[in-house]
Structure 1
Amino acid sequence: MYRVLLVDDEPFAIEGLQLLIDWKKNGFEVESVCGDGEEAARLIRESKPDLVVTDIRMPIMDGLELISQMRLEGHKQTKFVVMSGYSDFEYARRALQLGVSHYLTKPIMSDEADEVLECLNKTLEEETRKQKVVRYTERCAQRRALTALLRGEELSDTDQTSIKRISAEAAGWVYMRVAVDESELASAVEEVEKLLEKGQVEGGAGGCILDQELTSFGMACILRDDSKSAMQDAAEFLYKALRGSVRGSLSMVVGSLVKEPEQLGSSYRHAEEAGAYLFYDRRERPLYYDEIKEQGFGYDSHLWEAAEKIIEAVETNDEERIVERLQQIFDHFADKRTMPSLISAFSTHIMVQCSGIYKELGGDADQMLEKTGYPLVGANEHSLMKLHAFLLSFCLMCREELSLCRSRQQGGTIAKVEEYLRQHYCESVTVKEIGEIFYMNPVYLGQAFTRKYGVSIHEYIHQLRMNDAKKLLHNQDISGSALAERLGYCSYQHFLKQFEKRFGMKLAEYKKTIPHLKS
């Protein structure tokens, strides 16, 4: 809707314009009304309406004087329609000289007004379209020129012209980088682009987004003055706006404040330096280069000795020692602020060595790595805590896989039976059916399995099912009947009985102990 200001010193005339003309049908809405030219001038300066419909003959300042004054002040985008109860050619001639394209004679006829508004709507739409094209072209030119500065490239004549035009509004410059979840990148970019383009950033005069990656984007912010307070106001404003629209993770690093656009490369490099500290310092506010520029990362020559001890614990199937040694080394990282790239190398070394041992025992190392995933160690969206959790998960999984490989090599057919049960425990299988698969007498099979694993085949299946039940209950909201069916129990009551036998409480009572299922 285009915004309209009505100006007439006769209240009944104003009321008639509001009631008799269907403004919304033609894409307009009456935003404000007033009774004289001086008040109208003030409202035009404040709200910049799209259309002003004004009477000509008014006290203090008449309609033509109002239009003349507004044109002198530079309000060229506002359209004016004049009204008069006097069919005076001189008024019409002066109005045309002032750029007024429509002249209405009182009393206003709705058909005539509709025709005028329809014509004005088309004119405004075309001008809006052209303005968008011009703004888009200018933004592209600005982005290209600033990106060239960021990369230290030589500027073309066009780029230099763009930089000069931007610099006219700037007293200071700063590069900022924002990281969010991949699924929310597009909406975050749109939110920031809108604020920068309209110059609505507190403490800032504008700016634009320069580079965009999978989970992050960078921007050059133009500041109204070259003070740190202006820089912080802009950063805090943008962070708050993003926090209001981004649900997932959010981080922002702010480079150094510079006075000339040619120094943006320095601000960019400082923002990248600050970004490395997010590995340790996850915060709900921007991280400024000034906060970390005097700090440094530690170097630790004892990392490889610690890595070998963790690999040894994995190889010897010592779960307790794996947990203990990883905790110790990551506490050490946090205390010394070890260089993130060293921790990356440390973690990669452990993964490669453990995968090599698994491969030597006949396992598929690539498949195991696919199960755990590959961490982007050192990237802004990761932290020391997340890497610790990932590496612990990998080591424990590798320990289990190595144990299974050795069991298969040492236990012969019975070990193969155990592996079969792990793969099929959610299916309805009997000892007789398993004996037929492995060409063994069911009675002998049952006895041999009990000797090796300490429990009967049926009990082993129950154990596997209950371990799975526990994981499912903690990871998702699932009903008891659905859980029983998923685990292969034909009878829901039988499942409940087995659950209570192994956990010492009923299923409903157990659910109450799970945080995300508490009422």
Structure 2
Amino acid sequence: MYRVLIADDEYWVGRWLADVLAKSPYDIKLAGISKNGGEALEKLKSDQIDILITDINMPVASGLALLKELEESGRKKPKTIIISGYDEFEYARQAIELDVLAYLLKPLEREKVYEAVEKAIGLLEEEQRQRESETSDFAGTVEVVLAEYLKNPESDLKEKLAELFVRRKENPGFYRLGLLQTGQLEQSALSREPLRRKMEEACPGKRIFLHQRDRFTWAILITGIEHPEGFAVNETALASILHRYEFGLSRAHDDFSRLDCAVEEAKQALIGNLEEEGEEKLRSLEHIPSESELHAEFLSAIQTRSLPLLEECSRLSAELFVRRDYDLTGCLNFYFVLTGDVIKLLNDCYGKENDTEYLSLMEEGYELSVRIKNHYSIRSICKRFEDYTRKVISCLKEDEYLAVSDIVRKVLLLIREKYAQDLSLGQIADEYGVNPSYFSKKFKDETGCNFIDYLTAVRMEQARALLENTALPVAAVSSRVGFREAKYFSRVFSSVMGMKPTEYRERMRRDGTGREVEM
């Protein structure tokens, strides 16, 4: 939307123009009507005006004097339309010299005004396209040089990067380099422009340059930082990204010759963030098995097809290497050897069964051992191996399968223990290797109700207890019993209990059956 200022000392001319513009088909907004040149000049200096429609003769300052003042002060002039009651050559000549795009004679005609405004908008749009093109070309060039430098840090590309900013006459100020890495060892799901928009939202007013360093990692160059001590990335704006990605940011530098230091600082910051997270989770941990013990437990979990044991081994191995001064190298070596043993196990099975699925998993194991070498996150490495091993376990044959009734009993216990987590019948059926439709029927046969109804009943039971005995807000109760949205929780609670959560809490309080405690 373009902002238009009208300047005319004749009241009715200004009102007529305002009415004409309000009824126009253009995306414009009236910024005001000034009754003399002085008022117009103040408005032009204090506000963003895109189009100026001004009388040539006004008190205090003429329309041409306004433009001369702006030109001499170095300010950008708006697209200007001159209106006048005099058809004089000298006025027209001066207007041309001041880049006035239209000279309209009074009495004004609606169509002539529209033609002039349309011409102004066309020029503004063309300038905007030109700026976007130049900005895009500059950003693309910087990102290409950044990519080349990260591939070859020993080159002189740091100097080339500095030259680009000098040539564009753009002051990069202080800069910081960030590394954003996926929490899984899968290819990054982020694409360039959505990530750029997120980073611009998190660092308002700063220039963002991006390079996908490998399949898992984005390098982010943030420039235009004026005061490093007051700069911080708004992590709230990145919330949708950071639950799946790790992020590390370098210190502020004002010299591109220090770019290698910034890269190393970003890497260490990323590792440091992970280490702090690990230390918090370690406080309640009493004993971690040795590497050899964990290695044996992992193989036992695979051979016995025990998913709970697999999950426990994965958790403990992460804690082991995080506690050991964030021993990334030790973690990589441990999983490299372990992956080799899993491949041997699959090779033995392939020799007996001649099953191409085993062959496919062996190839994936080889790829895994290569792909994890340049990853910075211990927890991500552990999780990726766990995901891979789950596939191995589901592929391995076993002599005796759990009876469905035994599975149902295990699932009932699982629901009681993990009702606050995302649980689905399909996920559980896959975990135990049974058909979801068949398992759903057997679950109802064993319990008398559907899986989702049983899960909901358990959650409502826990919700009632929290509403009766705590002062937690309804939103907090909703989250604690496994609902992502408080509104949906309230609807489910109302359908089950016949009243809203707040009404239930109030009734329990009135009946004297509820006692609230802080949690």
Superposition TM-score tier, normalisation by shorter sequence:
0.5 to 0.7
Following the alignment from structure 1 to structure 2, what is the Cα–Cα distance between the partners of residues 312 and 495? 32
Q: Does 1:174 align with 2:171?
A: no
Following the alignment from structure 1 to structure 2, what is the Cα–Cα distance between the partners of residues 327 and 183? 25
Q: How does 1:377-388 map to 2 (within 5 A)?
A: 377=372, 384=379, 387-388=381-382
Change (3 A) 1:42 1:169: farther
Following the alignment from structure 2 to structure 1, what is the Cα–Cα distance between the partners of residues 312 and 435? 36
CA contact (8 A) 2:375 2:381 kept: no
Q: Which among 231, 237, 240 is matched to residue 241 of structure 1?
A: 237
Question: Partner letter of residue 133 of structure 1?
Answer: S
Taking only the aligned residue pairs, the percentage that are identical comes to 15
Aligned equivalent of 2:508: none
Provide the secondary structure at the position in 1 that maps to 2:267.
helix
Following the alignment from structure 1 to structure 2, what is the Cα–Cα distance between the partners of residues 367 and 66? 76
Q: Does 1:350 align with 2:338?
A: yes
Q: Does 1:153 align with 2:165?
A: no
Following the alignment from structure 2 to structure 1, what is the Cα–Cα distance between the partners of residues 315 and 143? 46
Aligned equivalent of 2:324: 336
Following the alignment from structure 1 to structure 2, what is the Cα–Cα distance between the partners of residues 74 and 195? 31
Aligned equivalent of 2:102: 102
Q: CA RMSD for the aligned pairs? A: 4.5
CA contact (8 A) 2:248 2:271 kept: no
Following the alignment from structure 2 to structure 1, what is the Cα–Cα distance between the partners of residues 313 and 112? 86
1:81 is displaced (CA, Å) by 0.9
Following the alignment from structure 1 to structure 2, what is the Cα–Cα distance between the partners of residues 356 and 484? 30
Aligned equivalent of 1:271: 266
Change (3 A) 1:75 1:354: same
Q: Which among 297, 311, 314 is matched to residue 310 of structure 1?
A: 297
Q: Does 1:513 align with 2:516?
A: no
Q: Does 1:124 align with 2:127?
A: no
CA contact (8 A) 2:50 2:79 kept: yes
Q: How does 1:208-247 map to 2 (within 5 A)?
A: 208-211=209-212, 213-225=214-226, 228-230=228-230, 233=231, 235-237=232-234, 239-243=235-239, 246=241
Question: Partner letter of residue 306 of structure 1?
Answer: E
CA contact (8 A) 2:199 2:238 kept: no
Change (3 A) 1:332 1:210: closer
Change (3 A) 1:112 1:381: farther
Provide the secondary structure at the position in 2 that maps to 1:513.
helix
Following the alignment from structure 2 to structure 1, what is the Cα–Cα distance between the partners of residues 452 and 128? 64
1:17 is displaced (CA, Å) by 0.6
1:366-393 CA distance string (max 9 Å, x none): 4556999959647769552x55556567
Question: Partner letter of residue 73 of structure 2?
Answer: E
Provide the secondary structure at the position in 1 that maps to 2:155.
coil
1:22 is displaced (CA, Å) by 5.7
1:4 is displaced (CA, Å) by 1.4
CA contact (8 A) 1:145 1:160 kept: no
Structure of larger gyration radius: 1
Q: Which among 489, 492, 496 is matched to residue 444 of structure 2?
A: 496
Aligned equivalent of 2:248: 253
Following the alignment from structure 2 to structure 1, what is the Cα–Cα distance between the partners of residues 391 and 170? 60
CA contact (8 A) 1:177 1:216 kept: yes
Following the alignment from structure 1 to structure 2, what is the Cα–Cα distance between the partners of residues 255 and 248? 20
Q: 507-516 vs 168-177, which deviates more?
A: 507-516
Q: 44-53 vs 211-220, which deviates more?
A: 211-220
1:52 is displaced (CA, Å) by 0.7
Change (3 A) 1:74 1:195: farther
Aligned equivalent of 1:28: 28
Following the alignment from structure 2 to structure 1, what is the Cα–Cα distance between the partners of residues 42 and 210? 36
Please, which runs of 5 or more residues in structure 1 have no aligned partner?
284-301, 408-417, 423-452, 454-459
Q: Does 1:188 align with 2:194?
A: yes
TM-score w.r.t. length of structure 2: 0.66
Question: Partner letter of residue 218 of structure 1?
Answer: A
Aligned equivalent of 1:201: 204
Question: Partner letter of residue 344 of structure 2?
Answer: G
CA contact (8 A) 1:303 1:346 kept: no
Give the count of matched residue pairs. Answer: 428
Question: Partner letter of residue 221 of structure 2?
Answer: A
Q: How does 1:37-52 map to 2 (within 5 A)?
A: 37-52=37-52
Question: Partner letter of residue 353 of structure 1?
Answer: D
Aligned equivalent of 1:287: none
Following the alignment from structure 2 to structure 1, what is the Cα–Cα distance between the partners of residues 144 and 445? 69
Change (3 A) 1:36 1:264: farther
Change (3 A) 1:462 1:211: closer
Provide the secondary structure at the position in 2 that maps to 1:512.
helix
